[in-house]
Amino acid sequence: MNANAIQKLRPYAFALSLTLVATLIDWFLQHALPASNLALIYMAAVIITSVYTATGPALLSAFSSFLVFNFFFTEPRGTFLISSREDALTAGFLVMIALLVGPLAARRTRLLTDLAQERMEKETELLRSSLLSSVSHDFRTPLTAMIGATTTLMEMGDTLSREQKRELLESVLSEAERLNNYTQNLLDMTRLGRGDLRLERSWVSIEEIINVTLKRIRPLAENHQLDVNMAPSLPLLRVHPALIEQAIFNVLHNSLKFSPAGSTVRLSCHESRTVPGRVLVVEISDEGPGIEVSERENVFRMFHTAEKGDRRVAGSGLGLAICKGMIGAHGGSVEIADAVHGTGCLVRISIPVADQNENSQVG
């Protein structure tokens, strides 16, 4: 029997199961309650079946309930003979409930489905509009700067000093790196949204991941100080190294964007023991304006930025959302707390530490 056939039979199995449950309840209560009250338990089974399935299973519940009720709990017992008008009315009521409640429940279900579909379509359209708005803004800004710098080099190259040319080229490189970050974040978010993010785990040290991340982030931190503090003898992680690296990079990049020039961004790493098990904790703090408590959950939503208006720093609003998705895919967590140095923000990334004797592949 294929899966579709099994799926179609499940509501009918549900109906018969409720009839069996009602019979067991009546069997234990038959000496304490009159037969008319025992019939109410079967009516409840028919109503539940009607609400949660469709008319077909509800009718099956009605007929099977009456037959079992008539066989076991009405006189003469042990036969299907209908000897009284009350028994016939009971059968009629059960069928009527199935015929009336079933379509009403089906209509309600369709209404709820339509409302959910409409809400999903509105959210999808809003997400599409936000994406187009964010992409057009975040791509246009660096592209405009790159076009301006290259145009200046082409039209005024002979009159510019070597230092001025180098400054313009550095501007082009910086904006190209911004574009690369935006593109990477969009690709990662697309993979997360489609469920295509596959974890190709391997054993790796957090020191190696941090070193690669720092090498990527240092060109963007020329106006800041980076303070790195790694605890000794940290355990190996069984993770997808590139994803953990990207998650940490996104948080560092975010801290640099919102921190004033000359300030310090701190990264520390230590092991912690929790109730579920050991975790490796990476904490990144800055000296920026910080994030209000009411905003700390919102910043993990796509396209959300904590700063608004003139104070808004250019960005797609995807960095922390992607970070949370990537760490969450590893069974970890990301949370925001107050910075330990008074001002700014602290982002705490917790990554589970796997047993190094584990041999199974986790994908």
* Structure token digits, residue 146: 């790159």
All residues at 6 or more sequence positions from 296 whose CB lies less than 8 Å from its CB, including other chains: 335, 336
Q: What is the pLDDT of residue 232?
A: 93
Q: What is the pLDDT of residue 347?
A: 92
Q: What is the pLDDT of residue 234?
A: 93
Task: Extract the residue ranges of the chain whose pLDDT is less than 50.
Answer: 308-316, 359-363
| Whole-number Å distance between alpha carbons of 183 and 139 | 9
Q: What is the pLDDT of residue 208?
A: 94
Backbone dihedral region for residue 349 (phi beyond 0: left; psi -120 to 50: alpha; all else: beta): beta
What is the CATH topology of the domain spanning 202-352? Heat Shock Protein 90 (3.30.565)
All residues at 6 or more sequence positions from 102 whose CB lies less than 8 Å from its CB, including other chains: 50, 53, 54, 55, 58, 59
Q: What is the pLDDT of residue 271?
A: 93
Reported as a single tens digit per residue, the pLDDT across 98-132 is 777 767 776 777 787 788 888 877 766 665 665 56
Contact between residue 78 and residue 70 where contact means Cβ atoms under 8 Å apart: no
| Whole-number Å distance between alpha carbons of 214 and 224 | 13
List the domain boundaries for the chain.
Answer: 3-115, 202-352
Coil/strand/helix, residue 313: coil
